[in-house]
């Protein structure tokens, strides 16, 4: 027992030394001034994409070890399209979006590798957000890329009126705009998100509004700067079911009214299938399947996606209990070398004990990371697996 305790202490000490070394290295890189453009200018793989995640790795250097929250994630957000990112709690959805906003909590949270290419139309160039100097990122954040958080009160300030806050946000990005024009734009944004009495809401304080109304205001605020990308991280989780549907309707409606791309993060595959053009399914920091919403909804291939499909709530369906995938997401610190879903998978076979399965293309848009679709098995299994 005593030896165990000693070994444990020694392990923690080594982790601390390693983390401190890493913090110093990151700080050295992040604190530099006058970073040459050549370090962060890049080329988009496809100019029709707004964002290209390329082998993104985002880690947390914690006291108990390195959490590989996002580990080798690659996908694109095309211009004007909606991408849905789905997965259970803790699979890395928020860390992916926080990396894109460069809002990981340091010194523990760091982008450890990979590129996040951003097609910065306003400057007619492409930049790697992962390497962008802080000052440059501040100009993009909240302006060209806006975020809608789960809990509207994290964005709204209780001591200012709604109008005041949206005005401020517009002014921050358009300092020369005359006041009357700013107010007009705020009212226009409030109307765009379905607020009928916009003039009245303009004068209200956040506490005077319902949760659903506050979330509409937050969406209006995000839209007020005319962003290229709106990230909505579980925008309806804190709301009741009817209001959830209304907020999703607004987002769906906005898709056609504005020219922005939307990254919609949720654990509900039903929601993304309805709203998104493309869907990315994440599990334990990696993408296990991606494809068009149609492909994922009508032909889910990965056993995890099939499980998520089964566990989604269906309106008007009378069931006692919702299905939930048995077992838990593995500990993110000691992930196995083989498939992370192995201990929960009812399709597991001998081959699955091998290395982590590579991504297999089953159509130009549909990719899956599972041995069931390994060469030779694909056509056979495609017919059998999936569906509901
Ligand atoms: N500040 C942090 N320090 C240490 N680990 C963290 C931190 N933030 C997130 N993680 C870890 O990173 C992993 C991914 O977390 P993330 O928040 O991205 O999950 P998520 O998919 O958004 O889940 P949810 O649906 O609950 O929001 C988890 O294992 C989580 O414990
Ligand atoms: S690789 Fe094997 S264990 Fe992993 S999801 Fe596919 S069938 Fe299941
Ligand atoms: Mg999250």
Q: What pLDDT is attached to residue 317? A: 60
| pLDDT 10s digits, 17-30 | 999 999 999 998 88
Give the start-end residues of each E strand in 137-253: 145-148, 229-233
Q: What pLDDT is attached to residue 174? A: 85
Q: Residue 125's Cα: distance from chain center in Å?
A: 24
DSSP string, 45-99: SSTTEEEEEEEEEEEEEETTEEEEEEEEEEEEEETT-EEEEE-STTSSHHHHHHH
Whole-angstrom distance, CA of residue 120 vs CA of residue 136: 11
Would you say the CB of residue 92 lies under 6 angstroms from ligand 1?
A: yes
Q: Is 88 helix (H, G, I), strand (E, B) or coil?
A: coil
How many CB atoms are closer than 10 A to CB 252? 15
Q: What pLDDT is attached to residue 211? A: 87
Q: Is 92 helix (H, G, I), strand (E, B) or coil?
A: coil
Best of 326, 344, 352, 367 to mutate for ligand 2, by most ligand atoms within 8 A of CB?
Answer: 352
Output the CA 89–ligand 3 centroid distance in Å.
7
Torsions phi, psi for 273 (to 5 deg)? -60, -35
Q: What pLDDT is attached to residue 387? A: 34
Closest by alpha carbon to 91, among 296, 327, 286? 286
Closest by alpha carbon to 198, among 207, 185, 210, 211? 185
Q: What pLDDT is attached to residue 312? A: 74
DSSP 285: T
Q: What pLDDT is attached to residue 252? A: 81
Would you say the CB of residue 109 lies under 6 angstroms from ligand 1?
A: yes
Task: Please enumerate in sequence order all residues whose Cβ is within 8 A of that of 169, keeping only pairs 6 or more positions apart, or say none.
Answer: 142, 221, 224, 225
Pocket of ligand 2 from Cβ distances under 6 Å: 302-303, 339, 341-342, 345, 347-348, 352, 357, 370-372
Output the CA 329–ligand 2 centroid distance in Å.
14
Q: Which contiguous run of DSSP H or E holds residue 134? A: helix 134-140
Q: Residue 316's Cα: distance from chain center in Å?
A: 29
If you take atom 1 of ligand 1, which residue's CA is the nearest one? 105
Please give the structure tokens belonging to residue 125. 């160039």
Q: What pLDDT is attached to residue 319? A: 60
Output the CA 388–ligand 2 centroid distance in Å.
18
Would you mind telling me the total number of residues written for the chain in this entry?
A: 388
Output the CA 208–ligand 3 centroid distance in Å.
27
Contact 200, 170 (CB under 8 A): no
Ligand 2 atom with the shortest distance to the CA of 357: 1
- Chain-wide mean pLDDT for the chain? 89
Q: Residue 5's Cα: distance from chain center in Å?
A: 39
Best of 15, 91, 105, 269 to mutate for ligand 1, by most ligand atoms within 8 A of CB?
Answer: 91
Q: Kindly give the parts of the chain with pLDDT less than 70.
A: 1-3, 313-322, 376-388
β 49-62/360-361 pair status: unpaired
């Amino acid at each position: 027992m005593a030896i165990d305790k000693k070994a444990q202490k020694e392990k923690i000490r080594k982790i601390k030394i390693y983390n401190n070394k890493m913090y110093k290295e990151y700080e050295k890189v992040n604190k530099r001034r006058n970073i040459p453009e050549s370090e962060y200018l890049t080329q988009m793989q496809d100019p029709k994409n707004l964002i290209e995640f390329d082998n993104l790795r985002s880690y947390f250097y914690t006291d108990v070890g390195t959490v590989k929250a996002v580990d080798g994630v690659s996908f694109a957000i095309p211009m004007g399209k909606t991408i849905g990112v789905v997965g259970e709690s803790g699979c890395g959805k928020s860390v992916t979006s926080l990396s894109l906003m460069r809002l990981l909590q340091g010194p523990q949270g760091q982008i450890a590798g990979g590129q996040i290419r951003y097609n910065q139309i306003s400057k007619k160039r492409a930049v790697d957000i992962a390497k962008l100097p802080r000052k440059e990122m501040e100009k993009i954040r909240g302006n060209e890329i806006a975020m809608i958080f789960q809990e509207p009160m994290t964005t709204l300030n209780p001591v200012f009126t709604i109008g005041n806050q949206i005005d401020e946000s517009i002014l921050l990005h358009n300092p020369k705009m005359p006041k009357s024009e700013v107010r007009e734009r705020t009212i226009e944004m409030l109307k765009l998100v379905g607020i009928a009495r916009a003039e009245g809401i303009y004068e209200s304080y956040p506490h005077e509004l319902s949760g659903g109304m506050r979330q509409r205001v937050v969406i209006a605020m995000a839209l007020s700067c005319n962003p290229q990308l709106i990230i909505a991280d579980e925008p309806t989780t804190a709301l009741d079911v009817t209001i959830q549907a209304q907020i999703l309707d607004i987002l769906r409606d906005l898709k056609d009214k504005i020219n922005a791309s939307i990254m919609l993060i949720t654990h509900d595959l039903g929601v993304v299938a309805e709203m998104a053009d493309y869907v990315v399914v994440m599990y334990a920091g990696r993408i296990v399947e991606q494809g068009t919403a149609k492909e994922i909804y009508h032909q889910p291939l990965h056993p995890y996606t099939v499980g998520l499909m089964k566990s989604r709530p269906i309106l008007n369906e009378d069931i006692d209990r919702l299905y939930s995938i048995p077992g838990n997401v593995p500990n993110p610190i000691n992930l196995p070398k083989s498939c992370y879903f192995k201990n929960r998978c009812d399709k597991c076979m001998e081959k699955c004990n091998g290395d982590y399965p590579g991504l297999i293309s089953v159509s130009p848009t549909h990719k899956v990371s599972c041995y069931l679709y390994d060469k030779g098995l694909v056509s056979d299994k495609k017919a059998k697996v999936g569906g509901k």
